[in-house]
Amino acid sequence: LASIDAHPAPSIVDVSGVKIGGGHLGMIAGPCSVEEPERMVRIAEKVAQSGANLFRGGAFKPRTSPYAFQGLGEEGLRILKDVGDKFGMPVVTEVTDPRLVELVAQYADMLQVGARNMQNFALLTEVGKSNRPVLLKRGMSATINDLLMCAEYILSQGNPNVVLCERGIKSFDPATRNLFDVAAVPQVRTLSHLPIIVDPSHATGRPELIPACAMAGIAAGADGVHIEVHDCPEVAKSDGPQALLPEQYDELAKQMKGLAELM
Ligand code: PEP
Ligand code: MN
């Protein structure tokens, strides 16, 4: 079902009115974690003004350490949805557990399956039964074929609305958080009709590298860009060191829109 043979025309995924794919650029922005409402409002207002069309934030966080901040849970979902509504942006948030799909789908316009859960087949099956579009992130040690097979798990349950995301893979070099595999974008394009976006925030972990990688993703044909933005990265509950400031996002958003128009 994910194969280009099954469906030669590029798929367009509609997230509560925001289209991704087929020439429509998904601009997903927001903090790594959902934080207090006032901060979420400040960030959302800024990224919306810059042209972001989807607002993100994690309420259930898959952290490396069980002692790290795990997210605000349902309260976080409520905050995210309220803030998204306030600025007319559909919201994207991660679901980490098959038992939470129904709850998260009540608040989220798009369900994110994170890199760590890409091959959680019980979760894929459950989001496949949901009527919400899914953002499926590539696992850090997954091949492109693995990614497409995981999309197949979702599609085969009857949910056709899957957007893939290249977010960097493991490498031997600690210079960047992950290794941004920009070639995955045109490679997926040869194999699948599904939209593919890039996430230069998790791919690089370094704000100074994000603009170049975001632009490279668009130049390679990506259908969207997922970027973490925080108004005070020093106090962010997670992934502060890789966050762009709203002003930096604004500058980059202008460049991304300009390049996308040329594509
Ligand atoms: C995230 O989007 O905040 C996240 C945890 O991403 P990934 O699953 O790609 O690490
Ligand atoms: Mn993050």
Split at pLDDT 50, 70, 90, the class of 237 is very high
Distance of alpha carbon 59 from alpha carbon 56, whole angstroms: 10
Question: Does the residue 6 lie in any domain?
Answer: no
State the pLDDT at residue 90.
98
Question: Does the residue 7 lie in any domain?
Answer: no
The average confidence (pLDDT) of the chain is 98
State the pLDDT at residue 9.
96
Distance of alpha carbon 211 from alpha carbon 16, whole angstroms: 27
Of the bound ligands, which one is closest to the alpha carbon of residue 243? 2
State the pLDDT at residue 180.
98
Atom of ligand 1 nearest to the CA of 238: 3
In this structure, the residue with its CA closest to atom 6 of ligand 1 is 114
Whether residue 230 has its Cβ less than 6 Å from ligand 1: no
The DSSP 8-state label assigned to residue 67 in this structure reads T
State the pLDDT at residue 111.
99
Q: Are 71 and 58 in contact (CB under 8 A)?
A: yes
Tens-place pLDDT, residues 92-116: 999 999 999 999 999 999 999 999 9
Question: Does the residue 47 lie in any domain?
Answer: yes
Number of domains the chain contains: 1
Q: Are 216 and 209 in contact (CB under 8 A)?
A: no
Average pLDDT over residues 214-237: 98
State the pLDDT at residue 231.
98
Tens-place pLDDT, residues 48-82: 999 999 999 999 999 999 999 999 999 999 999 99
Question: Does the residue 163 lie in any domain?
Answer: yes
Encoded tokens for 89? 């942006």
3-state secondary structure at position 186: helix
State the pLDDT at residue 71.
97
Question: Does the residue 3 lie in any domain?
Answer: no
In this structure, the residue with its CA closest to atom 10 of ligand 1 is 115
Split at pLDDT 50, 70, 90, the class of 155 is very high
Split at pLDDT 50, 70, 90, the class of 208 is very high
Question: Does the residue 1 lie in any domain?
Answer: no
Average pLDDT over residues 133-146: 98
State the pLDDT at residue 54.
98
The model's pTM: 0.98
Contacts for 60 with CB less than 8 Å, ≥ 6 apart: 70, 71, 73, 76, 93, 94, 95, 96, 97, 100, 104
Distance of alpha carbon 4 from alpha carbon 151, whole angstroms: 13
CA of 139 to the centre of ligand 2 (A): 14
E strand or H helix that includes residue 93: strand 91-94
Atom of ligand 1 nearest to the CA of 165: 9
Split at pLDDT 50, 70, 90, the class of 12 is very high
State the pLDDT at residue 74.
98
The CATH number of whichever domain residue 52 belongs to comes to 3.20.20.70
3-state secondary structure at position 154: helix
Question: Does the residue 249 lie in any domain?
Answer: yes
Distance of alpha carbon 233 from alpha carbon 41, whole angstroms: 16
Average pLDDT over residues 167-187: 98
Whether residue 84 has its Cβ less than 6 Å from ligand 1: no
Which residues partner with 163 through β-bridges?
Answer: 135
Mutate-to-test residue for ligand 1 from 135, 167, 196, 228, highest number of ligand atoms within 8 A of CB: 167
Question: Does the residue 8 lie in any domain?
Answer: no
CA of 45 to the centre of ligand 2 (A): 20
The complex scores an ipTM of: 0.99
Of the bound ligands, which one is closest to the alpha carbon of residue 241? 2
State the pLDDT at residue 64.
92
CA of 114 to the centre of ligand 1 (A): 5
Residue 228 belongs to domain spanning: 13-262
Atom of ligand 1 nearest to the CA of 112: 2
User: How far does CA 32 lie from the centroid of its chain?
Assistant: 10
Contacts for 100 with CB less than 8 Å, ≥ 6 apart: 60
State the pLDDT at residue 202.
98
In this structure, the residue with its CA closest to atom 3 of ligand 1 is 32
Average pLDDT over residues 183-194: 98
Distance of alpha carbon 3 from alpha carbon 194, whole angstroms: 8
Tens-place pLDDT, residues 23-52: 999 999 999 999 999 999 999 999 999 999
Q: Are 11 and 133 in contact (CB under 8 A)?
A: no
Average pLDDT over residues 186-209: 98
